[in-house]
Amino acid sequence: MRIHMWSADEAGSAFYRAILSGMSLQWLGHAVSGGMRLPQDWPALDAVVGCRVAKQEPSLMWKRLKEDGKRLVLDLDDDYFHLDPANQAAVRTWDKAMLQRLADNMALADLVTCCSEPLAAVLRDYADDVRVIPNGLPAQYLGTPRDYEAAGRPLFVGWAGTSSTVAELPEAVRALNRIATYPRPGGVQVRVVGISPEHAMSLGLRGRRVGALGWVERHEHYLQAVAEFDVWVAPYRDIPFNRAKFATKYLESSMLGIPLIASDIEPYRAVIRHGENGFLVRREHEWGRYLKQLVDDPGLRQQMGMAARAEASGAILQAINVQWQAALSVPAAERNAA
């Protein structure tokens, strides 16, 4: 099958929903291209996965692809119908006209795919056939070695995000500032990946043991950066937009064997068993409590990290690519009717 993974941008969503999924389809023998532009020989395509097709010109092309008989799969990994009001740039971009085009394009698609069941529940108001295909990572990340003892060196407590998710970070800022001064041999360093030092400071992160690594352009470099975390924090506000997300920070931390402390909301409540493969935070003061437990106890860090990693084999691309193949295949009933 000749497939094009048509991404809307080059950010993290494109990495998971276009680049990695396309690579996994190649492993199954399909001819896959990808990018923000369609190939010049697009009439030769059998199927197109359109990530977040909603702008005016791509929407016109979406209709043309449909008229040409291509199998169309529209993929979403966020709930644009319930945006965070604090993200004013996104609210301005996703105006009524943009959302209407998105809804029309979903109705035109043969299938709509997304990353979580809560998001699918929203999208089923706009499309008859919505299928959940989770994010995944290559199996190679399961073998990344870990130093749970962290003896004689600083212990790294990390947060990772972007300018569009940074509104979540203040939930844990007080605890991060405190743990950065914790009197542990070797000390504790807080590492923030994805935003600038100036942005981190504007949110209240302080101290010489708080460092920020700005935007990491290539996702493999991002994974190298977060792999240095000894403890990972994932604060989220309990709002509809966040409840529809995929638990990407758990996917990444579990693949790398890093214990995760996350807010007790969907989707993290669905994957973390509190005290076994991570911690769930319900009240602000618990960030500090669970951070101190993990900083003090290398055995607990190893226990939680390895428990999460043991379950991560189900999230490797080699276990997910068949779901993408099924989504892109024309159902037998349609083939027979043709």
Tens of pLDDT, residue by residue over 297-318, are 999 999 999 999 999 988 999 9
**How far, in Å, CA of 211 to CA of 154, rounded?**
12
Helix and strand totals (H; E) in the chain: 15, 12
Q: Are 137 and 20 in contact (CB under 8 A)?
A: yes
For β-strands 111-114 and 210-213, DSSP reports them as: unpaired
Clarify whether residues 202 and 310 are in a common domain: yes
**How far, in Å, CA of 320 to CA of 17, rounded?**
12
Nearest CA to 163 among 235, 224, 214, 232? 214
> Which tokens is 12 given?
């993290």
> Which tokens is 193 given?
């990946």
Clarify whether residues 224 and 152 are in a common domain: yes
Which domain, by its residues, includes 32? 2-136+317-337
**36-54 pLDDT, tens digit each:** 999 999 999 999 999 999 9
Q: What is the pLDDT of residue 263?
A: 98
Q: What is the pLDDT of residue 215?
A: 64
**How far, in Å, CA of 298 to CA of 258, rounded?**
12
Clarify whether residues 161 and 288 are in a common domain: yes
> Which tokens is 138 given?
């290559």
Clarify whether residues 155 and 302 are in a common domain: yes
Clarify whether residues 237 and 255 are in a common domain: yes
Locus of tokens 């043309």: 64
Give the residues across from 31 on adjacent strands: 2
**How far, in Å, CA of 295 to CA of 51, rounded?**
40
> Which tokens is 146 given?
């870990």
Clarify whether residues 311 and 321 are in a common domain: no
Clarify whether residues 246 and 321 are in a common domain: no
Clarify whether residues 88 and 178 are in a common domain: no
**pTM of structure:** 0.94
The DSSP call for residue 169 is: G
Clarify whether residues 104 and 189 are in a common domain: no
> What CATH number should be reported for the domain holding residue 218?
3.40.50.2000
Nearest CA to 176 among 153, 160, 165? 160
Residues 6+ apart with CB under 8 A from 132: 113, 114, 115, 116, 117, 119, 120
Instruction: Give the alpha-carbon dihedral of 18, 24, 25, 29, to 10 degrees.
Output: 150
Give the residues across from 192 on adjacent strands: 159, 212
**How far, in Å, CA of 73 to CA of 3, rounded?**
11
The DSSP call for residue 15 is: I
Clarify whether residues 146 and 265 are in a common domain: yes
Q: At what angle do helices 285-296 and 298-311 cross, to 10 degrees?
A: 100
Nearest CA to 236 among 252, 250, 219? 250
Structurally, how many domains does the chain consist of? Answer: 2
Clarify whether residues 285 and 310 are in a common domain: yes
Q: What is the pLDDT of residue 208?
A: 76
What parts of the chain have a pLDDT lower than 50?
335-336, 338
Clarify whether residues 150 and 281 are in a common domain: yes
Percent of the chain that is helix, strand, coil (3-state, to 5): 45, 15, 35
